[in-house]
Chains A and B, each alone.
Chain A
């Protein structure tokens, strides 16, 4: 284990910090799935915006709800959305990128221009349109963001395939009679894993931030359910009076995004 944190005998600082931050965020959200100190939605009229204390570590919000419990629950929701979005984007992007990159031709040209068109529109705007048509809610949000994340993955995977398909090992495999699908997904795909991993890390971060942004605009997760973005949105008017309302979910997003980002940098170095 200790070796994983080292590179050329030196400590890989990025990896250590990134790993710790991700672990903190993960522990919070995983424990939140099974246990929270209080019911995250239970309200107390006489405990509005209470300061952090021993009984409420992160204080309470304007409904008297325990912020710690809501952060735990909300982080779970946000990460779930992030993971689902990245999975949809990655699977869709891999398929699209692999076929267009490997076969090329007119289909490649057309699909990639469509891809460019989708990527050219700000993702939040497209998600807004999607939510406007299909209504707001967690599932709709996942679907909307998932589709929007396809282009970025497709482009990364396609460029990898375009390079790899000209290499000798692919030609060899071809001569040995391997089918196209086998070559694409058994031979080439593993060889572009390092760029794919970076794309996954960046994609996950973007997905978490997008979820936060959408919920902040009250288009994603619906109240009273907690999500980090919704908590931030609800905390905004109380920022000066009860800053813990905003700081707790804010730091949670920071830990997660920074952690995954650092991990991918640390990972990238060792691959090179």
Chain B
């Protein structure tokens, strides 16, 4: 009986696997203008001012727009605003609104809505929703004023020439209270429905002022993990999947194209600088020297990623300091020596736990490789897999961790990617503290001279590397599977999925 049952089970599983493979040819046909995108992380909020996860931003990018929005080449292009001028002293910004931009609920965007949205983002409202994550870069804004029907002026308390990169923050209707359940924005797609842990559906915004998207309906299918998503792709139920692993890319079915870009994410093993062994610079440096990044890339991303040496990635162009990539080369002997100086040896090994969000295969794989590499220099690292929600609350918000592996994205401003290391930053979850860093950062932020700015930002990156604030690993390769029915999948220097650009393949 038992035997029969086992064989039956085997038979069923084999049939199921075959069925997965065979189902691919069916469906399609009339559904040409709808696409299903596989994502592996649930949205943390539908309110763009509350959401913090990069995985949420990349979805909401399609629904919301700011005064300006990022473009493919990394510049900022006008969106809700038609035009803007920055005062020469860097202390005020004037925006002229585009005429007749409509929210998804049919109302026209007014200067009041813009004032409200920016004040909400900057935490200037009198009845501020405590859940709104105030964008600290916007805290320099001292006043947002409506001047005439279509002009808004931002007055800053101190000069800042980089604020534009943060004015991509979503413009939402004034005093609209349903943002969390039925979000309303101005983007090329309008929200249809959201089922937690299942899907986020949006449809074409027929009132869009710009070029209307080709796709009529886009469903973001939330899969429980990378493997599950790939299985769905093999079964043909996902058209676009942006998080292929190297291995999956090599198994891609023939009706999908492989698109390769950069993830624009700083992947690192972030160290809690306040956790006892990591307060010692030598320990942190040892951890940097002990990592063979070449081998790591070889194993986890087929050698396709880009090694980084600080908290910045190559798409930042002039601001990016590529010399830091080779600052910590693989030197296990030196790592051991530094550890010995810090008081750790075979009898008293350095031990720590690295918390890894279990839904990101790349981080889990990276963790496994690092644990092995650290073993070679006598460091005992233990992996603890945690849920994404737990990562956000325990690691990112409460900072209760020793080390963690994750990727950080950034807005289109060098200050955004580096600001989290200033000692007072709310998102300084690595607990990094260096007064010299704070000084340089303030100087760079307020500098109106572009050359000086570049030099300052390079110095700041270098400071992070010298202090070994964390173990910076790579800007991974983004491998995207796109069904051959579609083309024109665009890679941005920020972490977004632009579904409006998708065109049919002819």
Contacts and interface: CB of A to CB of B under 8 A. Distances in A.
Contacts of B365: 62-63
Interface in B350-375: 358, 364-365, 367-369, 371-372, 375
Contacts, number: 71
A255 B379 CA distance: 37
Contacts of B383: 222-224
B384 interface: yes
Contact of A218 (B6, B245, B385): B385
B80 to A, nearest CB: 42
Contact of A222 (B251, B298, B372, B382): B382
A104 interface: no
Contacts of B248: 237
Interface stretch (A39-47, A82-90, A109-117): A39-47
Interface stretch (A24-32, A73-81, A174-182, A238-246): A238-246
Contact of B299 (A41, A43, A135, A239): A43
A140 to B, nearest CB: 11
A48 B375 CA distance: 20
Nearest to B251: A241
Nearest to A136: B385
A258 interface: yes
A233 B386 CA distance: 16
A66 to B, nearest CB: 13
B385 A43 contact: no
Given A41-B372, A224-B368, A262 B3 contact: yes
A265 interface: yes
B385 A46 contact: no
A62 B251 contact: no
Task: Select the residue from A42, A136, A218, A262 with max chain B CB neighbours within 10 A.
Answer: A218
Interface of chain A: mostly helix, strand, loop or mixed:
loop
Contact of B367 (A45, A64, A223, A237): A223
Contacts of B295: 43, 45
A191 interface: no
B227 interface: yes
B247 interface: yes
A224 B372 CA distance: 8
A236 B20 CA distance: 13
Interface string B54-90: 0000000000000000000000000000000000000
Interface of B: 2-3, 6, 17, 226-227, 230-231, 245, 247-248, 250-251, 295, 298-299, 358, 364-365, 367-369, 371-372, 375, 382-386
